[in-house]
């Protein structure tokens, strides 16, 4: 819009007061960068102390037991450790991949040896990678699967990073007839087609099915086609266009990755025992709340409908190193409340 003197906005000079305020803001931005560097250095300092603890945890879990059956798993010291950790995380207050695990995924996850993360840059501005180490197994050739979350600070005045894409370093190299992300189904021959001798007019074909290894180990980026299994899976997103659906999937994936990085990997043993699960009875409380909501007046329902967001979740946000703190699941918990919970698998 032209100013009082007829010049366009891009040609207008800021008033002296605004110029003075901008100088103050420039000083603030410099201090903010200094603060971020200090906080990142502090986090790096403590991660250098955290990581050896988790490496020792890995060595304890990989220690051979002398039992041939146990020693063929990823964690002979406590067979199925990471499978139970991931499964139990579904019953906690963090975004979880537990609900992505199906029965046929479980034998594969028995071979998971360790999980860890790495930052892509010293400040954590450009993202992080999750690394899963696997023991030699009958399902795939890979001994390591790596997933990378790419983030970017798109506005210097907003310190949060935005998730831009999710990438996979290399695809899973499934051994013959061991791919758990597909199943064989009977397919009838088309009418008019020639029947093979002894074929009975049908054949078995591989069809994709839901799986942790399909959903977690897939690349996602704006402009990608929506995965076919996601199109069939949800009715809630029927009104979304493909771009919105992809944005939502990237957001959900990023949230799950951050939960693994900040909470599940550090506190793995607490998820294994169930101490990090929701308190017993939370589900009942939620049901009661739902019943109360059903009794609300029509006017309140209309207000909720008018204020609801029909679009996808917002883009994933992150604060980089030193500014993304995991929720302390154990803070203020009494010793009596810290025991294993009913919803989680127990030892």
The reported pLDDT for the residue numbered 11 is 52
Percent of the residues in the chain that have a pLDDT greater than 70, as a whole number: 71
pLDDT digits (tens, 9 = 90+) for 136-163: 999 999 999 999 999 998 888 887 889 9
The reported pLDDT for the residue numbered 191 is 61
The reported pLDDT for the residue numbered 238 is 58
More confident residue, 26 or 239: 26
Alpha carbon 145 to chain centroid, angstroms: 15
* Sequential DSSP letters for 230-256: HHHH-STTTT--HHHHHHHHHHHHHHH
* 126 pLDDT more than 70: yes
Taking the C-alpha atoms of residue 177 and residue 139, their distance in angstroms, rounded to an integer, is 9
Whole-prediction pTM: 0.76
pLDDT digits (tens, 9 = 90+) for 286-298: 454 555 555 454 4
Question: Per-residue confidence at 321, pLDDT binned at 50, 70, 90?
Answer: low
More confident residue, 319 or 19: 19
Q: How many CB atoms lie within 10 A of CB 187?
A: 11
Q: How many CB atoms lie within 10 A of CB 254?
A: 26
Question: Per-residue confidence at 342, pLDDT binned at 50, 70, 90?
Answer: very low
- Which of the 8 DSSP states describes residue 100? G
Taking the C-alpha atoms of residue 79 and residue 71, their distance in angstroms, rounded to an integer, is 8
Lowest mean pLDDT among 1-10, 96-105, 193-202, 263-272: 1-10
CB 198 within 8 A of CB 160: no
Q: How far is CA 268 from CA 64, 130, 261, in A?
A: 20, 15, 11
Task: Say if strands 182-188 and 161-168 run parallel, antiparallel, or are unpaired.
Answer: unpaired
* 108 pLDDT more than 90: yes
Taking the C-alpha atoms of residue 135 and residue 67, their distance in angstroms, rounded to an integer, is 16
Q: What are the φ and ψ backbone dihedral angles of 40, each rounded to 5 degrees?
A: -65, -40
The reported pLDDT for the residue numbered 233 is 58
Taking the C-alpha atoms of residue 79 and residue 48, their distance in angstroms, rounded to an integer, is 28
pLDDT digits (tens, 9 = 90+) for 26-79: 999 999 999 999 999 999 999 999 999 999 999 999 998 787 777 789 999 999
108 three-class SS: helix
């Amino acid at each position: 819009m032209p100013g009082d003197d007829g010049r366009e906005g891009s040609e207008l000079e800021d008033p002296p007061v605004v110029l003075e305020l901008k100088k103050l803001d420039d000083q603030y931005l410099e201090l903010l960068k200094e603060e971020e560097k200090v906080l990142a250095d502090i986090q790096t300092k403590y991660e250098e102390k955290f990581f050896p603890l988790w490496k020792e945890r890995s060595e304890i879990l990989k220690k051979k037991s002398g039992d041939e059956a146990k020693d063929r798993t990823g964690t002979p010291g406590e067979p199925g450790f990471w499978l139970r950790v991931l499964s139990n995380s579904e019953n906690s207050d963090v975004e979880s991949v537990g609900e992505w695990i199906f029965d046929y995924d479980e034998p594969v996850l028995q071979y998971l040896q360790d999980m860890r993360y790495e930052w892509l840059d010293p400040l954590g501005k450009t993202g992080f990678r999750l690394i899963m180490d696997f023991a030699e197994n009958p399902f795939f050739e890979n001994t390591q699967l790596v997933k990378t979350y790419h983030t970017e600070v798109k506005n210097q005045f907003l310190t949060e990073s935005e998730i831009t894409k999710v990438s996979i370093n290399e695809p899973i190299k499934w051994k013959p007839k061991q791919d758990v992300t597909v199943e064989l189904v009977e397919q009838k021959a088309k009418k008019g087609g020639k029947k093979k001798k002894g074929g009975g007019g049908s054949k078995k074909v591989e069809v994709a099915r839901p799986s942790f290894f399909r959903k977690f180990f897939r690349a996602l980026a704006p402009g990608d086609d929506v995965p076919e299994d996601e199109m069939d899976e949800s009715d809630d997103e029927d009104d979304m266009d493909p771009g919105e659906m992809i944005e939502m999937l990237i957001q959900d994936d990023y949230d799950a990755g951050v939960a693994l990085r900040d909470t599940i990997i550090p506190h793995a043993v607490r998820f294994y025992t169930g101490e990090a699960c929701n308190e017993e009875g939370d589900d009942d409380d939620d049901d009661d709340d739902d019943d109360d909501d059903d009794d609300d007046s029509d006017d309140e329902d209309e207000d909720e409908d008018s204020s609801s967001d029909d679009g996808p979740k917002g883009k994933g946000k992150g604060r980089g190193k030193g500014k993304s703190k995991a929720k302390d699941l154990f803070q203020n918990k009494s010793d009596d409340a810290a025991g294993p919970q009913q919803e989680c698998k127990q030892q």
